[in-house]
């Protein structure tokens, strides 16, 4: 009730402010004022003429024009008889407007609005607005903007991870380079460029990518993403001991609740020869006898066994795809086997399978982030 009373008072104040000038008596005719102005102009022309500031011919022409306006103003003043409505009529009009305008507005709102509808927070409304347009149309808008303003560093920063998510790695590299050039250098931008270079090279940490990670570490020695990829580069170079040392140091400095801890632990287990590429599920994955036997196998035989387990995991996830950790293991397994295309395809399948559960989808994205497959 207090709210409605406050709104009513505010409405009355607003209507009164509008109607007050209308209810006042009109002021006297402005013709007398015009006459005074034109007379002043004639005197000014005379002074300028006497001082030699204006020629006789120009002064005469100006005097004729001002005199003509003076005569017209005098005639208007004589014939100006403002019609002032009676006071009672003005009060009736003002009172009717004061009552009818708010009532009309309330009637329209009751008829066309939804008084019983509860408030909707901003976040759902923004999400609904974003869902109204496809990813392709949004990307096209950003690209059109960047064509018009290629020096918009923030635009390049925004579109780079989208390119990476869609597998447009060369464009992601270009966008990262532009963002780095326009927005300035820092560890995050150097590491993001390195990540795009790795994905453009099918998961290989190239010399160019390694240089960007080194630069990121020079700017921030504790940068997690750069440290992880530096370890991955050492592993790909065959220096497993160095990769293990890098990842052990990374784990030692990791917060207990770090989301990327599990990924680093599994990478460390991989280079130490104890990687478990499959989840512990009934009837799936190597048992203790298989693990013991695998140590006696050749590299090719071990790969065959691992591929068989990975295929079993893939088939299980096609039936029940609700386990984000299982999906992350499948993606990492394909990366270890040197099959980045299958890793990206598995990541796409995971995102579709987990799309109905935002929490699990976010967990999956966090688990595969360091592999460059986030998004």
pLDDT in tens, 279-305: 333 333 344 344 444 444 445 545 555
Do 150 and 255 have their domain in common?
yes
Whose tokens are 């009529």? That residue is: 89
Domain boundary among 260, 280, 313: 260
- pTM to 2 decimal places: 0.43
Question: Residue 281 forms beta bridges with which residues?
Answer: 284
Do 237 and 150 have their domain in common?
yes
Closest to 331 measured CA to CA, from 340, 343, 342, 320: 343
Work out how many domains the chain is built from and give that number: 3
Residue 17 resides in a domain:
no
Distances, alpha carbon 30 to alpha carbons 22, 42, 68, 86, 323, in Å: 18, 19, 17, 22, 84
CATH number of the domain bearing residue 214: 1.25.40.10
Distances, alpha carbon 48 to alpha carbons 68, 159, 371, in Å: 19, 68, 86
Question: How many beta carbons lie within 10 A of that of residue 135, not counting itself?
Answer: 11
Residue 281 resides in a domain:
no
| H/E element, 171 | helix 169-183
pLDDT grade, residue 96 (50/70/90)?
A: confident
More confident residue, 9 or 152: 152
Do 297 and 360 have their domain in common?
yes
Do 212 and 306 have their domain in common?
no
- 331: tokens are 């993606």
Do 256 and 149 have their domain in common?
yes
CATH number of the domain bearing residue 359: 1.25.40
pLDDT digit string (tens) for 120-150?
554 454 454 444 456 677 788 888 999 999 9
27-41, 109-123, 341-355: which is most confident: 341-355
**Domain that residue 63 falls in:** 35-76
More confident residue, 369 or 244: 244
């Amino acid at each position: 009730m207090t709210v409605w009373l406050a709104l009513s008072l505010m409405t009355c104040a607003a209507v009164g402010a509008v109607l007050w000038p209308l209810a006042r008596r009109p002021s006297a005719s402005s013709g007398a004022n015009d006459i005074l102005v034109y007379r002043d102009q004639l005197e000014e022309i005379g002074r300028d003429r006497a001082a030699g500031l204006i020629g006789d011919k120009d002064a005469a022409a100006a005097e004729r024009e001002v005199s003509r306006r003076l005569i017209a103003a005098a005639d208007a003043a004589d014939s100006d008889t403002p019609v002032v409505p009676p006071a009672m009529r003005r009060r009736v009009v003002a009172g009717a407007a004061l009552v009818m305008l708010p009532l009309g507005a309330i009637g329209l709102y009751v008829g066309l609005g939804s008084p019983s509808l509860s408030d909707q927070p901003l976040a759902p409304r923004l999400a609904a607005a974003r869902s109204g347009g496809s990813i392709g149309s949004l990307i096209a808008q950003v690209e059109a903007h960047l064509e018009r303003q290629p020096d918009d560093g923030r635009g390049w920063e925004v579109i780079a991870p989208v390119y990476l998510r869609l597998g447009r790695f060369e464009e992601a590299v270009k966008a990262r380079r532009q963002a780095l050039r326009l927005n300035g250098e820092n560890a995050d931008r150097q590491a993001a460029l390195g990540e795009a270079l790795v994905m453009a090279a099918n998961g290989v940490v190239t010399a160019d990518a390694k240089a960007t990670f080194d630069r990121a570490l020079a700017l921030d020695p504790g940068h997690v993403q750069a440290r992880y990829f530096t370890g991955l580069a050492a592993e790909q170079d065959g220096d497993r001991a160095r990769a293990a040392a890098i990842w052990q140091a990374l784990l030692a400095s990791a917060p207990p609740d770090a989301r990327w801890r599990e990924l680093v632990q599994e990478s460390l287990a991989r280079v130490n020869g104890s990687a478990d590429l499959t989840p512990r599920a009934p009837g799936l994955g190597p048992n203790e006898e298989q693990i013991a036997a695998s140590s006696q196998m050749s590299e090719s035989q071990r790969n065959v066994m691992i591929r068989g387990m990975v295929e079993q995991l893939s088939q299980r996830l096609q039936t029940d795809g609700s386990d984000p950790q299982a999906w992350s293991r499948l993606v990492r397994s394909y990366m270890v086997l040197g099959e980045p295309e299958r890793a990206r395809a598995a990541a796409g399948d995971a995102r579709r399978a987990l799309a109905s559960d935002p929490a699990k989808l976010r967990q999956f994205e966090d688990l595969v982030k360091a592999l460059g497959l986030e998004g």
